[in-house]
Amino acid sequence: MRDDHVTIHSTAVFDLLAPRMPAVPVKVELRYDTLDPYAVVAAFRAGQDWVEWVFARDLLADGLLADAGDGDVHIRPSAEDPEAVLMELSSPSGQAVFETSAQELADFLDRTYEVVLPGNEHHWVTVDEALTRLLPNDRS
Protein backbone atom coordinates (compact mmCIF):
# COMPACT_ATOMS: atom_id res chain seq x y z
CA MET A 1 0.00 0.00 0.00
CA ARG A 2 1.15 3.51 -0.76
CA ASP A 3 1.41 6.06 2.04
CA ASP A 4 0.91 9.19 -0.06
CA HIS A 5 -2.85 9.73 0.01
CA VAL A 6 -4.20 11.95 -2.79
CA THR A 7 -7.68 13.31 -3.51
CA ILE A 8 -8.58 14.92 -6.83
CA HIS A 9 -11.58 17.26 -7.13
CA SER A 10 -13.20 18.70 -10.21
CA THR A 11 -16.36 20.77 -10.48
CA ALA A 12 -18.58 20.52 -13.54
CA VAL A 13 -22.08 21.33 -14.68
CA PHE A 14 -24.18 18.45 -15.94
CA ASP A 15 -27.47 19.11 -17.75
CA LEU A 16 -30.41 17.16 -16.36
CA LEU A 17 -32.46 16.01 -19.34
CA ALA A 18 -36.20 15.40 -19.26
CA PRO A 19 -38.65 14.77 -22.10
CA ARG A 20 -40.34 17.92 -23.44
CA MET A 21 -38.51 20.12 -20.91
CA PRO A 22 -35.49 22.40 -21.21
CA ALA A 23 -32.26 21.01 -19.75
CA VAL A 24 -31.62 21.95 -16.12
CA PRO A 25 -27.99 22.67 -15.16
CA VAL A 26 -26.82 20.80 -12.05
CA LYS A 27 -23.55 21.44 -10.22
CA VAL A 28 -21.53 18.23 -9.88
CA GLU A 29 -18.34 17.60 -7.96
CA LEU A 30 -16.24 14.72 -9.26
CA ARG A 31 -13.84 13.15 -6.74
CA TYR A 32 -11.15 10.54 -6.92
CA ASP A 33 -9.43 9.34 -3.76
CA THR A 34 -6.48 6.96 -3.57
CA LEU A 35 -8.06 5.44 -0.44
CA ASP A 36 -10.53 3.86 -2.89
CA PRO A 37 -8.50 3.84 -6.12
CA TYR A 38 -11.01 1.84 -8.14
CA ALA A 39 -13.86 4.34 -7.64
CA VAL A 40 -15.02 7.78 -8.68
CA VAL A 41 -17.61 9.80 -6.75
CA ALA A 42 -20.03 12.11 -8.52
CA ALA A 43 -21.77 14.40 -6.01
CA PHE A 44 -24.84 16.12 -7.47
CA ARG A 45 -26.17 19.33 -5.92
CA ALA A 46 -29.88 18.80 -5.19
CA GLY A 47 -31.25 21.93 -3.53
CA GLN A 48 -29.32 22.36 -0.29
CA ASP A 49 -28.15 18.74 -0.26
CA TRP A 50 -25.63 16.67 -2.19
CA VAL A 51 -26.49 13.26 -3.61
CA GLU A 52 -23.45 11.04 -4.13
CA TRP A 53 -23.05 8.25 -6.64
CA VAL A 54 -20.00 5.99 -6.45
CA PHE A 55 -19.00 3.97 -9.48
CA ALA A 56 -15.94 2.34 -11.03
CA ARG A 57 -13.31 4.57 -12.58
CA ASP A 58 -13.14 2.01 -15.42
CA LEU A 59 -16.86 2.57 -16.07
CA LEU A 60 -16.22 6.26 -16.59
CA ALA A 61 -13.34 5.51 -18.97
CA ASP A 62 -15.33 2.92 -20.92
CA GLY A 63 -18.38 5.20 -21.13
CA LEU A 64 -16.37 7.90 -22.88
CA LEU A 65 -15.88 5.49 -25.80
CA ALA A 66 -18.99 3.29 -25.89
CA ASP A 67 -22.12 2.33 -23.97
CA ALA A 68 -20.94 1.07 -20.56
CA GLY A 69 -22.58 -0.10 -17.37
CA ASP A 70 -25.02 -2.82 -16.47
CA GLY A 71 -26.19 -1.66 -13.05
CA ASP A 72 -27.47 1.61 -11.63
CA VAL A 73 -25.00 3.72 -13.63
CA HIS A 74 -24.80 3.79 -17.43
CA ILE A 75 -22.45 6.07 -19.35
CA ARG A 76 -22.27 6.48 -23.11
CA PRO A 77 -21.30 8.96 -25.79
CA SER A 78 -24.18 11.11 -26.98
CA ALA A 79 -25.55 10.01 -30.35
CA GLU A 80 -26.44 13.63 -31.17
CA ASP A 81 -23.31 15.45 -29.97
CA PRO A 82 -19.86 13.85 -30.37
CA GLU A 83 -18.48 16.19 -27.69
CA ALA A 84 -21.00 15.09 -25.04
CA VAL A 85 -21.51 12.09 -22.80
CA LEU A 86 -24.76 10.85 -21.26
CA MET A 87 -24.89 9.49 -17.72
CA GLU A 88 -28.02 7.62 -16.67
CA LEU A 89 -28.57 6.99 -12.97
CA SER A 90 -31.25 4.61 -11.71
CA SER A 91 -32.45 3.97 -8.17
CA PRO A 92 -35.62 2.62 -6.55
CA SER A 93 -36.82 6.23 -6.19
CA GLY A 94 -36.35 7.17 -9.83
CA GLN A 95 -34.14 7.69 -12.83
CA ALA A 96 -32.19 10.67 -14.16
CA VAL A 97 -30.29 11.29 -17.38
CA PHE A 98 -27.52 13.88 -17.50
CA GLU A 99 -25.46 15.22 -20.38
CA THR A 100 -22.00 16.71 -19.92
CA SER A 101 -18.78 17.48 -21.73
CA ALA A 102 -16.79 14.42 -22.77
CA GLN A 103 -13.62 16.53 -22.67
CA GLU A 104 -14.20 17.61 -19.05
CA LEU A 105 -14.69 14.00 -17.99
CA ALA A 106 -11.61 12.91 -19.97
CA ASP A 107 -9.53 15.67 -18.36
CA PHE A 108 -10.66 14.59 -14.90
CA LEU A 109 -9.89 10.97 -15.74
CA ASP A 110 -6.44 11.92 -17.02
CA ARG A 111 -5.72 13.65 -13.70
CA THR A 112 -6.60 10.44 -11.86
CA TYR A 113 -4.26 8.48 -14.14
CA GLU A 114 -1.41 10.84 -13.25
CA VAL A 115 -1.77 9.63 -9.66
CA VAL A 116 -2.75 5.97 -10.17
CA LEU A 117 -2.20 4.36 -13.55
CA PRO A 118 -4.90 1.93 -14.71
CA GLY A 119 -3.98 -1.56 -13.55
CA ASN A 120 -1.97 -0.24 -10.59
CA GLU A 121 -4.90 0.33 -8.23
CA HIS A 122 -3.98 -2.74 -6.19
CA HIS A 123 -0.77 -1.00 -5.08
CA TRP A 124 -2.93 1.49 -3.18
CA VAL A 125 -5.10 -1.00 -1.26
CA THR A 126 -4.52 -3.50 1.52
CA VAL A 127 -7.16 -6.09 2.37
CA ASP A 128 -6.95 -5.35 6.11
CA GLU A 129 -7.49 -1.63 5.64
CA ALA A 130 -10.35 -2.17 3.19
CA LEU A 131 -12.08 -4.55 5.63
CA THR A 132 -11.62 -2.07 8.47
CA ARG A 133 -13.46 0.60 6.45
CA LEU A 134 -16.26 -1.82 5.53
CA LEU A 135 -16.91 -3.44 8.91
CA PRO A 136 -18.62 -1.66 11.79
CA ASN A 137 -16.32 -0.40 14.54
CA ASP A 138 -18.44 -1.71 17.44
CA ARG A 139 -17.95 -5.47 17.49
CA SER A 140 -19.88 -6.36 20.64
Q: What is the pLDDT of residues 97-134, one digit of tens each?
A: 999 999 999 999 999 999 988 877 877 776 666 566 66
pLDDT of residue 132: 66
Using alpha carbons, select from 52, 26, 32 the residue that is nearest to residue 107: 32
Domain count, the chain: 1
Average pLDDT estimate for 6-18: 95
For residue 78, tell me if it sits in a domain: yes
Q: Which helix (H) or strand (E) holds 112?
A: helix 102-115
For residue 33, tell me if it sits in a domain: yes
pLDDT digits (tens, 9 = 90+) for 35-67: 889 999 999 988 888 899 999 999 999 999 999
Tell me, rounded to whole angstroms, the distance of Cα 106 from its chain centroid: 12
For residue 111, tell me if it sits in a domain: yes
Residue 36 CB burial class (10 angstroms; 0-12, 13-18, ≥19): middle
Mean pLDDT of the chain: 89
pTM of the model: 0.84
- Structural domain boundaries enclosing 114: 7-120
Here the CATH number for the domain that contains residue 43 is 2.30.31.20
For residue 127, tell me if it sits in a domain: no
Residue 137 has pLDDT above 90, yes or no: no
